[in-house]
Structure formats: C-alpha cells, structure tokens
Chain A
C-alpha cells in the first residue's frame, strides 16, 4: 500500500467528519472516515456526563480485524509481554467462544467493558479504580496499592497486574510494576477529539467492524446501530450496563 503515512487518521481529518466520508488514498484504496466522536476537550474543561462513550463490535466481521486490533492497542499503549501468557498484560484479547450444542464459533475482542456500575470501582479500597463522568473506567496509578481486589471483582478478566519491570512506556499511557492496568479506551485520544486506536485500525481494514461514539447522542452512528440491531453485552445478567456492545453474538 502506498502512502502508509497518510493512512494515519489525523485529528484534523477526524474533526472534519460530521458525517461518514470516503477518501481515496490511492487507486483502489479507500478510507472510510467515521464521524468524529467529539471536539477536543479544552484543557481545564471537566469531562461531561452528557457523553457516554461506547463501542459496538460486529462479531460476524470481527475475525477479519482481530489481530490488527490487538496490535494497534499494543503499539498505541506500549504494553509488551515477556512471553509469559499468564502474567503478560493483554489490554485487549481475542476470545473464541464455542457453542457446545451447535458447534458455532465466534471470535470477539474482550477488553475493559467500561461499565456504568463497575464492580472494580466498587471494591477498590483507595478509589484508584474510578469511572469518569463520560463512562471511561480508569486506574489512578498514583494511588493503586496493587491489592488486586479489582481483578477478583471484574467479571471479564480484563484487568492486569503488572508482574514485572516495564520498559518502553508511552507518555500518555503510564504503567508501573505492582499496580493494575486495563484498557483506557485510549482516553488520551478521546480528550484530543480522536477515536481509540483499535477502532481506527479496524476501520482501515474492515469499515464498520467496530463502531465508536457517544451512546447518549441519539444521532450518533453507534446509538443508531445499537438501537437498530440486537446488540448484546457480556454477562448482561449482572446488570452492569457496559459501554461495549456485541452485535451478532447470538447468531
């Protein structure tokens, strides 16, 4: 592919997108720009509860972008492993679900589900686990004591204890041995008016496989898609009101 650099979605390009736009990058190569999630938040402006960030995964198409999504997250946030799958972090991981009755198989990404009622936040003794007004669930690395109670409480196994020394950290995604971490929904990008790295990467490969936006905005693509399709959430029985939806999980 020519002009790989131009594949990078710039903030300007995103802010321009009031509606979906198709950009021709090269003959036969097009880029679909989804609507921008929001304007960049001005420094000092508090996060507003008017926004509820959400993510919709089209499970029927996800397999095409599965590896791309994980790699994009790893590159963006700088989490690397040591070849030890049980202790290495995996802010987003690909899970294959198999229906033992029918043999049907689904692959889906599992990452922090950014719950409205997050159990990890409830149990954290110091308040290091917290939920931003716009629905993003984060860990304050400065007051996390590494008790791991949030990992016990999370129904999705998406929190990771940093088991060893870290190198190659990204300034926007600080990590620390002995503390807990998880998907931040690329909060640094959201605050700059951009979308999460996984969504952009998936968009480039299979437009619409992952849709990101404001669930509270009835005109947003995600709100319309969630309203139009049967979009399920993991462990919906727990009533946690997650921000991550899965379309096509049930067939």
Chain B
C-alpha cells in the first residue's frame, strides 16, 4: 500500500436530483422537528409523554445518542492522525465533519426540549461550576471549536503539519466529553439505576460503537451517492472495528449490571430492568443486547458473512437501532422505577411515588428527535456537497 499516494479531495459537483431529494427529505425532517418543538413550547410539556416522574423523555434519548455518536464519529480521524494509520487518512475529513454535524443535531434537540429554550443565552453566560451540566456546556462548545480547527489543519495544506498535535488534542477532548456525558447519569446519587462511575467508560465505549456505525453507513452512502469507488479493505477494517467497539460496550454494560446485582439495595431496579420491566426488559435484551450487539458482532466476524458488504451495512444499521434502544432503557427505564423514600418501605397514595411510571412518547417528541437526526445528516450532506471532504476514490490501493 502506498502511504505517500496523493489523495485528491473534491466537493460533489452539480445539483443532481439525488442530492436535492436527499437534502429535501432531511430538510422536511428538520421542519418536523421544529414543528414538534414549537407545539411543546407553546402548549407546554403536558402534551408530551413526559411528566414529573419521567422528566427526560424521547428527545433526550435522541439528543444523548447523537452527542455520544458525535464523539465516536471522530474515531477514524483520530486513528489516522493520532495513531498514524494511513489507510484512514482519506476518510479523516469526513470523520471530523460528521462529528461536528452529529453534535449540532444532538444539541439542537437538547436545547429545543428545554422548558425555556429562549434562555439559551443564560445557559451560555451564567454558570454553576459544580454542575456536570455546566462542564458539558464547555465540553460541547469546545468540541465544536477543537474539531473545526482540526478540520482546518487537515484541509489547509500549510497547516497539515499541525494535524497530529491538534488531532491528539481533539482525541483527548472527545474522551473527556463522553466522560462528561456519562457522568450526567453517573453523578445522580438519588437513583439506583444511575449513580455509578462505570457510566463514564460505558458511554465512551458506546460512543465508539454508535459513532463508528453511523460513520460506516455515511461512508457507504456517500461513496454510492457520489459515484466514488469504495474499496473492500476499507470496509473490512471499519466493520471489524465496529465489532470490537460493540463487544466493549457489552462488556461495560455487563459490569454495570453485575455490580448492581451484587448491591442488595439495587436488586429491585435490576429485577425491573432485566426481568420484569416489560418494554424496558424487551428493549434491553432483544433491542440492545441481541439486535444491537450480538447479531452485528456475528455479522462482522462470522466467516459466512464476514466478507459481505451488505452484512457490514446491516451490522451498522442494527448497531444504531440497538444503540437507541440501549439509551432508551438507560434514560426512560432508569426513571420509570420509583424513587425509594424510606428503604424497606413501599410507597402508595400518590402517582408520584407508587409503582412504575407510565410513559408513551408523543408524536412531538419523536418529531423533535428525528429532526435532530435530520439536521445532523443534512449538515453532513451539505458539507460533502460544497467542501472537499471526500476523496475522489476510496478504492483499495494495491500493495507494491
């Protein structure tokens, strides 16, 4: 393989029907999201499935998924710049672009789900530095800045020599960022489903897997959509990495639940999530563990499907679906289990205390969440269209 081979990056010429259709469809998703947010803000959150028991709903599932995936979308750029793998260099720019666009989509959902999104300026100017949320505001805005500078270093020839140190900085930043996102839950001492330090590394593993899955799908779609060849070797490496990241996610999930099972006061919430939780139990075992991890791991490593590009794409799709299921269980399932006011006593008399909290996502919440996905993909699509992000060819370079 020729490491020194010159890579020609080029924007996508012309305004073909395919591009316009894709951009239009994604634009409609964004409009739907804005519509959902508008109803939620003007009517109040009572029109959603959220309540004073399920205070974070489906918008948070999408927002957290996109933010976590944003960090993981930077994998390929990091592997290229920080770990010096030349094979990934042609994909590094797309990796950075996708990281920025996914974060933008996730943050848009998060902000539009606030009770007072008009007070965003307050959130940006008034800080309580003891709050992990406040740290995350810096980590998120900082991630934008760091990755944009990183992209500049990669795309501007005179700056290329700085791409390794800046890439290393971005790599460390995204690790801290995902630690921060996981710690939003890890620091919640009140709830048995959270309150564990393993949330931070678990979210890092999740980010590696989800972001990588989305990246693989975007690379496949972009190469097909722009008519640029994509080599089998690139796909093989990417899908193998996806399998490893999914295995790492399963490992941390196992550690989290095994730890909780060992702690007597947490056996109730574990029984709920793993055995008796209805939709949450199904989403955990079938959605996350089965469809989201075991099946895609089998698809990418089993000899029968290991060399199939279709199987690699399917594995990535399943990883995304399973990832959303996992975050749904973490966020909604974790809240559905009642708070324990007095250990050993059962509460009754108030829907705020007794039993499993009901939750059905409303159409407004789903629209807002999908709007964030639409925004992320629309930004990436426009970037591929107007910026030299994709190389002219991703075909395998024969070894000399």
- A contact set with B: CB distance below 8 Å: 82, 84-90, 93-101, 106-107, 110, 119, 121-127, 143-149, 151-157, 159-165, 176-180, 234-235, 237-238, 249
Q: How many Å lie between the Cα of A106 and that of B41 in the bound state?
A: 39
User: Given A146-B114, A153-B188, 11 other A-B contacts at CB below 8 A?
Assistant: A86-B52, A86-B357, A96-B347, A97-B342, A110-B341, A123-B131, A143-B126, A160-B52, A164-B44, A178-B114, A235-B342
Contact assessment for A90 and B350 in the assembled complex, using a CB-CB cutoff below 8 Å: yes
Contact assessment for B346 and A177 in the assembled complex, using a CB-CB cutoff below 8 Å: no
Q: List residues of chain A with CB within 8 A of the CB of B152.
A: none
Q: Mark B345-356, 1 if CB is under 8 A from A, else 0.
A: 111111111000
Q: List residues of chain A with CB within 8 A of the CB of B344.
A: 99, 101
Q: List residues of chain B with CB within 8 A of the CB of A99.
A: 344-346
Q: How many Å lie between the Cα of A101 and that of B346 in the bound state?
A: 10
For the complex formed, measure the closest distance between the CB of A95 and the CB atoms of chain B, giving whole angstroms.
Answer: 5
Interface residues of B in 332-347 (CB under 8 A from A): 335, 339-347
> Contacts A122-B131, A179-B115, A237-B343 hold; do A86 and B191 have CB atoms under 8 A apart?
no
Q: List residues of chain B with CB within 8 A of the CB of A146.
A: 114-116, 119
Contact assessment for B51 and A97 in the assembled complex, using a CB-CB cutoff below 8 Å: no
Q: List residues of chain B with CB within 8 A of the CB of A124.
A: 128, 131, 133
Which among A86, A123, A144 is the interface contact of B115 at CB below 8 angstroms?
A144
Contact assessment for B55 and A148 in the assembled complex, using a CB-CB cutoff below 8 Å: yes
User: Can you give 18 contacting A-B residue pairs, CB < 8 Å?
Assistant: A87-B51, A90-B52, A97-B346, A98-B347, A99-B345, A110-B353, A123-B131, A123-B132, A123-B133, A126-B134, A145-B122, A148-B56, A149-B131, A152-B188, A157-B52, A157-B339, A161-B115, A179-B115
Q: List residues of chain B with CB within 8 A of the CB of A100.
A: 345-346
Q: How many Å lie between the Cα of A145 and that of B184 in the bound state?
A: 17
Summarize B's interface: helix, strand, loop or mixed: loop
Chain A CB within 8 A of B397 CB: no
> Contacts A98-B346, A145-B123 hold; do A152 and B341 have CB atoms under 8 A apart?
no
For the complex formed, measure the closest distance between the CB of B148 and the CB atoms of chain A, giving whole angstroms.
Answer: 24
Contact assessment for B44 and A178 in the assembled complex, using a CB-CB cutoff below 8 Å: yes
Contact assessment for B116 and A179 in the assembled complex, using a CB-CB cutoff below 8 Å: yes
Q: List residues of chain A with CB within 8 A of the CB of B115.
A: 144-148, 161-162, 177-180
Q: List residues of chain B with CB within 8 A of the CB of A153.
A: 187-190
Which among B56, B116, B345, B352 is the interface contact of A157 at CB below 8 angstroms?
B352
Chain A CB within 8 A of B45 CB: yes
For the complex formed, measure the closest distance between the CB of B290 and the CB atoms of chain A, giving whole angstroms.
Answer: 29
> How many chain B residues touch the partner (CB < 8 A)?
51
For the complex formed, measure the closest distance between the CB of A204 and the CB atoms of chain B, giving whole angstroms.
Answer: 23
- B contact set with A: CB distance below 8 Å: 41, 43-46, 51-53, 55-56, 114-117, 119-120, 122-123, 126-128, 130-134, 137, 184, 187-191, 335, 339-353, 357-358
Q: List residues of chain B with CB within 8 A of the CB of A123.
A: 131-133, 187-188
Q: Which of A100, A122, A145, A164 has the most CB of B within 10 A?
A: A145
Q: Which 7 A-B pairs have the closest CB atoms?
A: A146-B115, A178-B115, A155-B190, A86-B51, A96-B349, A164-B44, A125-B133
> Contacts A145-B120, A151-B55, A179-B115 hold; do A84 and B46 have CB atoms under 8 A apart?
yes
Which among A94, A143, A152, A155 is the interface contact of B335 at CB below 8 angstroms?
A152
Chain A: CB-nearest residue to B126? A126
Q: How many Å lie between the Cα of A147 and that of B188 in the bound state?
A: 15
For the complex formed, measure the closest distance between the CB of B277 and the CB atoms of chain A, giving whole angstroms.
Answer: 19
Q: List residues of chain A with CB within 8 A of the CB of B357.
A: 86
For the complex formed, measure the closest distance between the CB of A26 and the CB atoms of chain B, giving whole angstroms.
Answer: 34
Q: List residues of chain A with CB within 8 A of the CB of B56.
A: 148, 152
Contact assessment for A161 and B342 in the assembled complex, using a CB-CB cutoff below 8 Å: no
For the complex formed, measure the closest distance between the CB of A54 and the CB atoms of chain B, giving whole angstroms.
Answer: 19
Q: Which of A94, A126, A154 has the most CB of B within 10 A?
A: A126
For the complex formed, measure the closest distance between the CB of A120 and the CB atoms of chain B, giving whole angstroms.
Answer: 9
Contact assessment for A235 and B340 in the assembled complex, using a CB-CB cutoff below 8 Å: yes
Q: List residues of chain A with CB within 8 A of the CB of B346.
A: 97-100
Q: How many Å lie between the Cα of A237 and that of B353 in the bound state?
A: 19
Contact assessment for B55 and A161 in the assembled complex, using a CB-CB cutoff below 8 Å: yes
Contact assessment for A95 and B350 in the assembled complex, using a CB-CB cutoff below 8 Å: yes
Which among A157, A164, A178, A249 is the interface contact of B342 at CB below 8 angstroms?
A249
Contact assessment for B128 and A126 in the assembled complex, using a CB-CB cutoff below 8 Å: yes
For the complex formed, measure the closest distance between the CB of B171 and the CB atoms of chain A, giving whole angstroms.
Answer: 26
Q: How many Å lie between the Cα of A122 and that of B134 in the bound state?
A: 10
Contact assessment for A125 and B341 in the assembled complex, using a CB-CB cutoff below 8 Å: no
Chain A: CB-nearest residue to B54? A86
Q: How many Å lie between the Cα of A179 and that of B119 in the bound state?
A: 11
Q: Which of A87, A93, A237, A238 has the most CB of B within 10 A?
A: A87
Q: List residues of chain A with CB within 8 A of the CB of B191.
A: 152, 155
For the complex formed, measure the closest distance between the CB of A209 and the CB atoms of chain B, giving whole angstroms.
Answer: 18
Q: List residues of chain A with CB within 8 A of the CB of B351.
A: 85-86
For the complex formed, measure the closest distance between the CB of B208 and the CB atoms of chain A, giving whole angstroms.
Answer: 25
Q: List residues of chain A with CB within 8 A of the CB of B190.
A: 119, 152-156, 235, 238
Q: List residues of chain B with CB within 8 A of the CB of A119.
A: 188-190
> Contacts A122-B131, A149-B133, A249-B342 hold; do A95 and B46 have CB atoms under 8 A apart?
no
For the complex formed, measure the closest distance between the CB of A215 and the CB atoms of chain B, giving whole angstroms.
Answer: 21
Q: List residues of chain A with CB within 8 A of the CB of B41.
A: 178
